[in-house]
């Protein structure tokens, strides 16, 4: 039998910012056990303050578990050398588009991570070009970040991460501060990256985004509460409501109709699809 090694493995992880001051029941994250395979597209949801950002920061060694261990590939975040390798493997895109761009031009910013890794200049140039190509910012190389739109800034942040050739990209509410168009751009890009085999972990408050992923994890009250393939969640939207999470309208309507004995096909991606399905159902009867 072939043993499949998971890409990310959290075992018995407990974490708090002030472990000595808090009772263990109040720690920011409690008893997290989780594995994520290469190529997965995972969404993490949960109420405010439940520990999602803390979880994200544990994944690339920005935070070290107080107890337990986080492993990425063959490395553990608990030792310094491991962290160095993990920073290269796990890229992170944050929430505020303005506060994660370091350099004064687009090209220099994509280079920043590569410079930190000590990549020789000749190798940097093609990697920067490729990353800008993937995010669609070719031609913007000499632009100042202040002259980019919110969506473009986030795409720049993604390019900066992509240039480092990560295996995993973690998005911590990276779409929440964007206008609808910027949000769509970034979502589209996430989907593309996933299709190219990248492992994507997306922390979000938007249930609509959750159903774009393959697997949904809910963290609430500092613990891992749900871990389902998003397909299975269609039939159990009440589970999301139970944790105070908003359920997208099409899914709610579908569940209500089902209670009335009206069975629609799944999955329903957006309200247009729902309307089409209701029409189809009505024309059948």
Partner 1 sequence: MNSVMIGQYIPIDSWLHRLDPRSKCIFVFCMLILIFFANNVETYTLLLLVGLMGVALSRISVLLFLRSMKLIIWMILFTTLFHLIFTQSGSIVLQTPILTIYEEGVRQAAIISVRFILLMIFASLLMFTTSPIDLTDGLESLLSPLRRWRFPAHEFAMMMSIALRFIPTLWAETDKIIKAQKARGADFESGNVYRRVKAYIPVLIPLMISSFRRAEDLATAMEARGYAGGVGRTKLRVLSIRRADILLLVCFAIVATALFWMRK
54 binds ligand ATP (CB under 6 A): yes
Binder among 51, 82, 160, 250 for partner 1 (CB under 8 A): 160
- For residue 36 the two structure tokens come to 């994520």
84 binds ligand ATP (CB under 6 A): no
Rounded-to-integer distance, Cα 75 and Cα 217, Å: 23
- Non-local (6+) Cβ contacts of 187 within 8 A are 175, 209, 212
118 binds partner 1 (CB under 8 A): yes
52 binds partner 1 (CB under 8 A): no
- 54 is in the binding site of which of Mg ion, ligand ATP, partner 1, none (Cβ under 5 to 8 A by kind)? ligand ATP
Q: How far is the CB of 192 from Mg ion (least distance, A)?
A: 24
207 binds partner 1 (CB under 8 A): no
Cα distance between the two ends of the chain: 51
List Cα–Cα distances, 41 to 38, 50, 209, 211, in angstroms.
Answer: 9, 21, 11, 11
- For residue 9 the two structure tokens come to 């493995």
Q: How far is the CB of 95 from partner 1 (least distance, A)?
A: 8
49 binds ligand ATP (CB under 6 A): yes
Rounded-to-integer distance, Cα 32 and Cα 46, Å: 14
Q: Per-residue contact track with Mg ion, 44 to 63, x per CB under 5 A? A: ---------x----------
**CB atoms inside a 10 Å sphere around CB 47:** 15
Rounded-to-integer distance, Cα 109 and Cα 88, Å: 16
Between 82 and 113, name the residue whose CB sits nearer to partner 1: 113
Q: Are 7 and 72 in contact (CB under 8 A)?
A: yes
Interaction site with partner 1 (CB under 8 A): 57, 60, 62, 84, 87-88, 91-92, 94, 96, 98-105, 107-108, 111-121, 124-125, 128, 144-146, 157, 160-161, 164
């Amino acid at each position: 039998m072939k043993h499949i090694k998971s890409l990310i493995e959290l075992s018995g992880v407990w974490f708090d910012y002030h472990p000595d001051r808090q009772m263990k029941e109040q720690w920011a994250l409690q008893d997290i056990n989780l594995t994520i395979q290469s190529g997965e597209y995972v969404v993490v949801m949960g109420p405010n303050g439940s520990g999602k950002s803390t979880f994200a920061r544990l994944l690339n060694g920005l935070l070290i578990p107080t107890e337990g261990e986080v492993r990425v590939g063959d490395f553990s975040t608990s030792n310094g050398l491991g962290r160095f390798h993990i920073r290269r493997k796990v890229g992170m895109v944050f929430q505020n588009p303005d506060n994660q761009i370091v350099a004064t031009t687009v090209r220099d910013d994509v280079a920043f991570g590569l410079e930190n890794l000590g990549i020789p200049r000749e190798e940097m140039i093609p990697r920067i070009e490729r990353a800008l190509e993937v995010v669609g910012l070719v031609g913007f190389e000499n632009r100042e970040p202040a002259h980019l739109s919110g969506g473009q800034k986030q795409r720049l942040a993604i390019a900066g991460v992509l240039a480092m050739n990560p295996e995993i990209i973690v998005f911590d509410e990276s779409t929440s501060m964007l206008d609808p168009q910027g949000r769509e751009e970034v979502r589209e890009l996430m989907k593309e990256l996933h299709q190219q085999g990248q492992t994507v972990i997306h922390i979000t408050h938007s249930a609509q985004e959750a159903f774009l992923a393959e697997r949904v994890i809910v963290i609430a009250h500092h613990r891992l509460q749900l871990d389902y393939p998003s397909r299975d969640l269609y039939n159990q939207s009440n589970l999301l409501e139970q944790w105070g999470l908003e359920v997208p309208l099409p899914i709610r309507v579908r569940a209500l109709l089902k209670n009335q004995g009206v069975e629609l096909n799944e999955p329903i991606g957006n309200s247009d699809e729902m309307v089409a399905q209701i029409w189809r159902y009505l024309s059948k009867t």
